[in-house]
Structure 1
Amino acid sequence: MAKFVLAGKTDCPHYAKAELLADSLQRSLPNFRIHKISILPDEWKEWLEVTCSRNGWKHEQSPLIWRELVAQGGKGMLLGGFSDFLEHCQGYYSITSDMPTDIMLSVAAENLETKMNLIVEEQHRASLIKPLCIWISSALSPTCHFLIPSLLSAEVFPHVSAINLHLLDLDGSKEELQQLRMETEDLALRLLHQVTIQTDLGQAFQGADVILLLDECWSDDSDTENEDEEKKKKRVKGISDRYREYGQLIDSRANKEVKVIVSGDSCANLRCSLLLDNARSIDSHQFITMATQLENEARAVIAKKLKVKTSDITDVIVWGNISGSFYIDLQRAKVFNYDGAIKGPAFFSQPIQKILHDRKWLQTDFQELVGCQRAAVASKSGRAAAMSLANGILAVLKAWNGICGPDEVFSVGVLCPGFYGLPAGIVLSVPVTFTDGKWSVLSDVTVGDELKERLQLSARELKEEKE
């Protein structure tokens, strides 16, 4: 099979003549194939230089014609310009071209007009696509690597046709971000429209519809448990300064309906609170911080105790300071498929508090085990529980986008307007449900004296952090 490639300026008469000659050959010869590349006049010189440099050719005029070695593979074989192509056709196929000059000019003008119309159509088509704009901070963290493949899917964003992903890492290198961008593009995800990388705040959160903040504490000393008071203040100040700036940028650049999720182990409530203080033009309901990871860790501890799968435990509630004095509440928690005295079908569940009679374990060991679960995972894997965190973010995003049942309960840190007798103006983890893209605090829960005391402790702790 003979396959020829014709490239030329859209307004070039010789390109038009070569094009019509090639069309004639393709119609009359069953094994003759032609591929055309039409280049705008102002782009021709640069395109020609790049193409010739890549293939090791020397050519200066339009058109440029070469033969693809289909059977042998490898780079193409240069023929040259129109005269060389005409000579080749006369010698091999006994076909020539006697097109008059006026027709050549007419076809060239038509080629240019067609090309311009195609460009206008493509620009119009692109303008109709309104991609969802997602920003991820600390994009070089392991959590982001686990997050991206599942994030850019119709399962998370069911009513979205395209997504622009913006990867931001203020402490990372452009080379590493570039590698992550290439990996993301290589996934060939259907919804992915564009990937950009940023290492500064120059364009951060511009036009953002969803913002996922994966930043952790920035401390030179990884042993934060034994750090002295001065180091702790310095670490918290570093977090505070960055999140104040984030809040200001979100306020001025992001869409007003943006959804912001704060995640991580360090000062999660404080970071969300600082965003709210500095993004006052955006509804506070658009900011939440993640407690889903703690929920799942609590479910894993209970599942081990009851000898069931983690997925068999539901409706665990996390109250308080996600990164400090939190409390795991089982008043609504249920277990499915429990091998006890009472059994039922797969949809049958039992209240966990009626099955677990060891109250002492629930109030002491259980709470401590949940606090140690993440540290245990980190010690065995040598890194933070990134997979668990990514899974929690995806679960909350799905719920926020309407992919959950109306009775499904999530624990998230939100701005408290004084409910449950708590002081207003602080971010605390409370149980919520999601309906039609909005969250609402669960009212059907009992807040007893012990829980109130624990919540007041969390509130005092968060006020001190903020001060």
Structure 2
Amino acid sequence: MSDEINVVITGAAGQIAYSLIFNIIKGDMFGLDQKIRLVLLDLPAFMENLKGVIMEIEDCAYPLVTGIIATTDVNEAFTNAHYAILVGAMPRKEGMERSDLLKANAAIFKVQGKAINDHANKNIKVLVVGNPANTNCLIAMLSAGNIPKENFSCLTRLDHNRAKSQIALKAGVNVKDVHNVIIWGNHSTTQYPDVRCGYVNVSAGVKSTIPNIIKNEAWLQGEFISTVQKRGGAVIAARKFSSAASAAKAITDHMRDWVLGTPEGEYVSMGVHSDGSYGIPAGLIFSFPVTIKSGKYTIVQGLPIDTFSREKLDITLKELQEEKDLALSFLEM
């Protein structure tokens, strides 16, 4: 870590960014000693909103903030960027076809990927949050050929956190005692929340597998999976807004672990470039269980994939392949 890092947030005037920014500047993401220069990128229509956000950042008087830039210029935003959190994306509007959504976002993330390629620090880490996150991440990565593929990831940590919480609630334990759940595949309703290899700390030095604690296979293979898959929609239905605070917390968790590492024996879920692991073809951004050390993630190998799990992986794989093909058909790449 350098004396000062440049951190870019796109869609910086939005709800998720509003929660996220304050997590970053108080030290939750990069540590309590890391100085940060914030670069806030958004559309011209939102510049007035960003003025208010900047005033609040100033009023918090957090000592880690060394500078704040608000800009509408994508090239200026990514100049010498060390970290980029791509929150902004075209949301799906009423009456919009899936193909229209993919087309609009492919154009956005191609431009941002090229700007990252041309102007960012070559060791930049890029986290894509804006949906469809896996495919948007793929487009950005393909548009930044000079940046290593492993420096791009997409957010499935929110789904991971949701899965941990649901297990904790069902088992009647604290969420900190739930470990090694997995989110496989796409950040969509086809994702596969998998707890077969997870465990619960029962007491000091004693742990037990999640299936052994829950003892309800029908729930684990049914309601649990469905709840996690549909949680985002359930929040919107209840709150009338998307899940901003929990998304910001998940982004913070994802980046903190990516930069500072995961505890020994602990794995987390990240959408990363597939390398053929678990039969997932290379060339997709797919959520895998990973461990992280010294800023580099490693896909956890050798986990058992039973028939039920293989079927779930194939469903989300098919969706991602279709998204990729459709998105690339709109671009000359």
Which residue of structure 2 lines up, in the alignment, with residue 427 of structure 1?
A: 285
Partners of 1:133 and 1:170 in 2: CA distance: 20
1:271 aligns with 2:136: yes
Which residue of structure 2 lines up, in the alignment, with residue 375 of structure 1?
A: 233
Secondary structure in structure 2 of the residue aligned to 1:203: helix
Which residue of structure 2 lines up, in the alignment, with residue 18 of structure 1?
A: none
User: Which of 46, 63, 71 is 1:190 aligned to?
Assistant: 63
TM-score, with structure 1 as normaliser = 0.66
8 Å contact from structure 2 (residues 189, 229) kept in 1: no
Deviations 1:131-157 (A, max 9, x none): 200000001111112112221244532
User: Which of 211, 218, 224 is 1:360 aligned to?
Assistant: 218
Deviations 1:325-382 (A, max 9, x none): 1111112212234xxxxxx33x532211112222122112211111232222222322
Counterpart amino acid of residue 306 in structure 2: G
Considering Cα pairs closer than 8 Å and 6+ residues apart, tell me whether 1 or 2 has the greater RCO.
2
Structure 1 unaligned spans of 5+: 1-128, 222-226, 338-343
Which residue of structure 2 lines up, in the alignment, with residue 319 of structure 1?
A: 184
Which residue of structure 1 lines up, in the alignment, with residue 25 of structure 2?
A: 152
1:179 aligns with 2:60: no
Partners of 2:44 and 2:267 in 1: CA distance: 36
TM-score, with structure 2 as normaliser = 0.91
* Equivalent residue runs for 1:173-322 within 5 Å: 173-221=46-94, 227=95, 231-264=97-130, 266-322=131-187
Partners of 1:426 and 1:294 in 2: CA distance: 19
Deviations 1:276-318 (A, max 9, x none): 1111111111111111100111122222222223333221100
Which residue of structure 2 lines up, in the alignment, with residue 72 of structure 1?
A: none
Secondary structure in structure 1 of the residue aligned to 2:215: coil
1:336 aligns with 2:201: yes
Secondary structure in structure 2 of the residue aligned to 1:432: strand
Identity of matched residues, %: 29
Deviations 1:245-277 (A, max 9, x none): 11111111111100111114x211101110111
Partners of 2:288 and 2:34 in 1: CA distance: 33
1:436 aligns with 2:322: no
User: Which of 252, 276, 295 is 1:418 aligned to?
Assistant: 276
Secondary structure in structure 2 of the residue aligned to 1:407: coil
Partners of 2:176 and 2:241 in 1: CA distance: 24
Partners of 2:44 and 2:187 in 1: CA distance: 25
Aligned-pair CA distance for 1:130: 5.1
Aligned-pair CA distance for 1:160: 5.6
TM-aligned CA distance change 1:155 to 1:452, over 3 Å: same
Counterpart amino acid of residue 18 in structure 2: H
8 Å contact from structure 1 (residues 301, 366) kept in 2: yes
Which residue of structure 1 lines up, in the alignment, with residue 248 of structure 2?
A: 390
Secondary structure in structure 2 of the residue aligned to 1:451: helix
Partners of 2:281 and 2:34 in 1: CA distance: 42
Counterpart amino acid of residue 415 in structure 1: H
Partners of 2:320 and 2:233 in 1: CA distance: 22
Say how many residue pairs are matched: 324
TM-aligned CA distance change 1:280 to 1:162, over 3 Å: same
Max Rg structure: 1
8 Å contact from structure 1 (residues 172, 199) kept in 2: no
1:162 aligns with 2:35: yes
Counterpart amino acid of residue 442 in structure 1: V
* Equivalent residue runs for 1:64-79 within 5 Å: none
1:409 aligns with 2:282: no
Deviations 1:6-39 (A, max 9, x none): xxxxxxxxxxxxxxxxxxxxxxxxxxxxxxxxxx
TM-aligned CA distance change 1:351 to 1:292, over 3 Å: same
* Equivalent residue runs for 1:100-111 within 5 Å: none
Partners of 1:289 and 1:371 in 2: CA distance: 16
Counterpart amino acid of residue 164 in structure 1: R
Structure 2 unaligned spans of 5+: 326-333
